[in-house]
Amino acid sequence: MYKAVIFDFDGLILDTETLHVEIFQEMFNDHGLEFPYADWIEHIGTKSTFTVFDLLERELASVKVDRDLLKAQNQQKFSERVRVLEARPGVLEYLKGAKSEGLRIGLASSSNRKWVTEHLTNLDLIDYFETIRTADDVEFVKPDPALYKLAAEDLNVSPSECIAFEDSANGASAAVEAGLTCIIVPNQTTRELEFPTVKHRLNSMSDVSFYQLLEEMNIHFGKD
């Protein structure tokens, strides 16, 4: 039987990824360009030195842009819009369901702790999580499995007893490699990604109740 659930954050609980893409599209449009979505999306769910400004300068044939100015403009847009962004449909119901079923609840994110805890607090969700593991805790973030291994260890459960909820291919790969059963819930930005083999795919957590999903998962627990 499953004993714990571990959630990703960006894109899964709060769809910051689609908000970022929306703002990047506006920036490229301001320069008379289309946003190269396929190139950007490869970096979703992980961290690298690659930035959207590298893409912009590439599309501008290496013409240098004022990165500091564009970054400030993008951040202002993001700060204004993220304040009114709500958790994705079904997230609160899944957290309540997991708690009522006595499952331990954790979070594993490639973002930094300040970012994650600030937004979880604003969403009034932070108290659901017994452990929160972020980029501050590991040398390598997703697709490396370290974050998921640490979260499972914190919850005092075997990775095989955990269900991971992810929205990105890098995150799903990390969960699978760590030994968790992964369920993907892609968002508008990540739905076209090629994901590793996972247990289940939902378009939204509102598609099926947590209790129904958990019952189905427990029926097949340990059989694969």
Distance of CA 151 to the CA centre of its chain: 15
Q: Which tokens is 175 given?
A: 């969960």
Degrees to nearest 5, angle at CA 186 with 183 and 189 = 160
Please count the other Cβ atoms lying within 10 Å of the Cβ belonging to residue 82. 15
Size of the chain, expressed as the number of residues it contains: 224
One-letter amino acid for residue 14 of the chain: L
Phi-psi region of 195 (alpha: psi -120 to 50; beta: other; left: phi over 0): beta
Crossing angle (nearest 10°) for helices 210-219 and 91-100: 60
Q: What burial class does residue 224 get, using C-beta atoms within 10 Å of its C-beta: 0-12 exposed, 13-18 middle, 19+ buried?
A: exposed
137 labelled catalytic: no
Q: Which position among 10, 137, 144, 154 bears the catalytic label? A: 10
One-letter amino acid for residue 136 of the chain: D
Q: Which position among 8, 137, 144, 167 bears the catalytic label? A: 8
8 labelled catalytic: yes
Indicate which residues carry an active-site annotation.
8, 10
